[in-house]
């Protein structure tokens, strides 16, 4: 059977963890992984969809962990936001090397390297076929990049959040530690919250629930998965108000 060529979504928000860029390194950005992700995104070129991206900073610095060790939480969170800017620039470079027009918009103003986040400008970039990477989280301490992804997705009126992970979807337990863990094909927002499943943090899930924004959690490490999800194939876990995917 030939691969489905039509996209199921017009505009997506791809959420990447900072750890996705680690590769086999203990910290920093693995260029091979950045290139792999860029190739996966380039595979969407013929589908003519609009792509926004939010990437975490955990491969460089995690504010919440530093705070737990005694650092001021506000300072630690701002340091984490700066880490997301580094990752965004690395991914932008990999994408542009493949001929994909890309803009980085930061919630923390740093005009020499990124545009300030302006909602209307971001949407205009998307309409012109540019990939927009949203850096700096929400620009506020105490909020994660999961929350930033939910917020930006709603601001650009994305059809879906695609959360890329290192496992196949959402499980009832950690599949790395528990080999008998069971993966959900579909699950509601409220079940994610009540079961305390680590899909995204509770603020992000609540924002998505309140605005009926679906989330698809899938394995980034399997080549072709990004394209398959965009084309509507039943991969990973669908999180939504109704457990019936579109």
Could you state, in order of their start, the residue ranges of all structural domains in the chain?
11-240
Span 32-49, pLDDT tens digits: 999 999 999 999 999 999
Instruction: Report the mean per-residue pLDDT for the chain.
Output: 93
The order of strands in the sheet holding 186-188 is: 115-116, 102-106, 131-135, 50-55, 11-16, 160-165, 215-219, 237-240, 186-188
Span 51-66, mean pLDDT? 88
Contact 12, 160 (CB under 8 A): yes
Under the banding of pLDDT at 50, 70 and 90, the label for residue 61 is confident
Is 2 a residue whose pLDDT tops 50?
A: no
Span 171-201, pLDDT tens digits: 998 888 888 999 999 999 999 999 999 899 9
| CATH number of this structure's domain 11-240 | 3.40.1160.10
* pLDDT for 23: 84
Span 11-40, mean pLDDT? 93
Span 133-157, mean pLDDT? 97
* pLDDT for 5: 73
């Amino acid at each position: 059977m030939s691969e489905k060529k039509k996209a199921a979504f017009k505009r997506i928000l791809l959420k990447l963890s900072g750890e996705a860029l680690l590769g086999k390194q203990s910290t920093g950005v693995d260029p091979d992984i950045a290139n792999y992700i860029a190739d996966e995104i380039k595979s969407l070129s013929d589908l003519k969809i609009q792509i926004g991206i939010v990437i975490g900073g955990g491969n460089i610095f995690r504010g919440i962990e530093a705070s737990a060790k005694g650092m001021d939480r506000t300072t630690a969170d701002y340091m984490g936001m700066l880490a997301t800017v580094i990752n965004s620039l690395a991914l932008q470079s990999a994408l542009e090397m493949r001929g994909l027009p890309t803009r980085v918009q930061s919630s923390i103003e740093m005009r020499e390297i990124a545009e300030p986040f302006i909602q209307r400008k971001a949407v205009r970039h998307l309409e012109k076929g540019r990939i927009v990477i949203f850096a700096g989280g929400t620009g506020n301490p105490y909020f994660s990049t999961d929350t930033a992804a939910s917020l930006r997705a709603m601001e650009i009126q994305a059809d879906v959040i695609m959360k890329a992970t290192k496992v196949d979807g959402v499980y009832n337990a950690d599949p790395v530690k528990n080999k008998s863990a069971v993966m959900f094909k579909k699950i509601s927002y409220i079940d994610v919250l009540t079961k305390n499943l680590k899909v995204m943090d509770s603020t992000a899930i609540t924002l998505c629930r309140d605005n009926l924004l679906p989330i698809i959690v899938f394995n980034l490490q399997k080549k072709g998965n990004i394209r398959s999800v965009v084309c509507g194939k039943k991969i990973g876990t669908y999180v939504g108000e109704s457990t019936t995917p579109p």
